[in-house]
């Protein structure tokens, strides 16, 4: 195996003094000085959120204030960093919504682990998880960065429900489909 020696061309006098590199750096600095300032007075002024932005995952309720989540745990299984923890619970037998499968007893999302991938929103069959446009999530301790069920519903609010799973099926007589 032959070794090939590559000859380098010698540096000019200007290149040895670094003057072209210094002038190039000064040119960039002066260009930035002449540019219009892009500073925002945060939090009074906030930047616009781009379309398709995936923010904080939250839980939402239907327009009647009922939980959409039925503890299917698909979001927990699909979450790559395992940031979601669900403890399934039963709906009381005397509740008017007892015909629905179940509801979460506890629902926690660890925002320190969340990678904002949006898989939880995509896999949810009830559209109970929605990614909000919120981007400033802070806390002083690790415990403050774990969003529990009540906090998730507070952040999420309500959204229209296309599934109508809470409404009991009406019989044929109630619809007026009597066969005479």
Query: Residues 9-42: pLDDT tens digits?
Result: 998 888 888 898 999 999 999 998 888 877 888 8
Q: What is the mean pLDDT of the chain?
A: 85
- pLDDT at position 121, please? 94
CA distance 35 to 37: 6
Place of tokens 């774990």: 146
Residues 6+ apart with CB under 8 A from 54: 116, 117, 118, 131
- In 32-180, where do the E strands start and end? 57-59, 84-89, 103-110, 129-131, 146-147
| Residue 163: pLDDT band with limits 50, 70, 90 | low
Q: What is the CATH number of domain 57-156?
A: 3.30.70.3270
- Convert the pLDDT of each residue in 77-121 to its tens digit: 999 999 999 999 888 778 777 777 688 999 999 999 999 999 999
Q: What are the structural domain ranges in the chain? A: 57-156
> Looking at the whole model, is its pTM more than 0.75?
no
> Taking residues 125-145, what's their average pLDDT?
89
């Amino acid at each position: 195996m032959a070794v090939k020696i590559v000859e380098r061309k010698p540096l000019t006098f200007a290149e040895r003094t670094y003057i072209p590199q210094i002038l190039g750096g000064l040119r960039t600095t002066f260009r930035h000085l002449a540019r219009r300032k892009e500073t925002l007075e945060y939090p009074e002024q906030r930047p616009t959120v781009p379309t398709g932005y995936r923010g904080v995952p939250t839980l939402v309720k239907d327009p009647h204030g009922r939980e959409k989540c039925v503890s299917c745990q698909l979001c927990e299984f699909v979450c790559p960093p395992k940031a979601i923890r669900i403890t399934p619970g039963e709906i009381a037998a005397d509740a008017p919504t007892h015909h629905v499968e179940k509801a979460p007893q506890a629902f926690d999302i660890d925002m320190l682990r969340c990678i904002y991938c949006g898989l939880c929103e995509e896999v949810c069959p009830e559209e109970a998880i929605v990614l909000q446009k919120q981007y400033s999530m802070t806390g002083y301790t690790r415990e403050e960065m774990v969003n529990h069920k009540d906090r998730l519903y507070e952040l999420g609010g309500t959204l229209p429900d296309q599934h109508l799973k809470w409404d009991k099926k009406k019989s044929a007589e109630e619809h007026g489909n009597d066969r005479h």
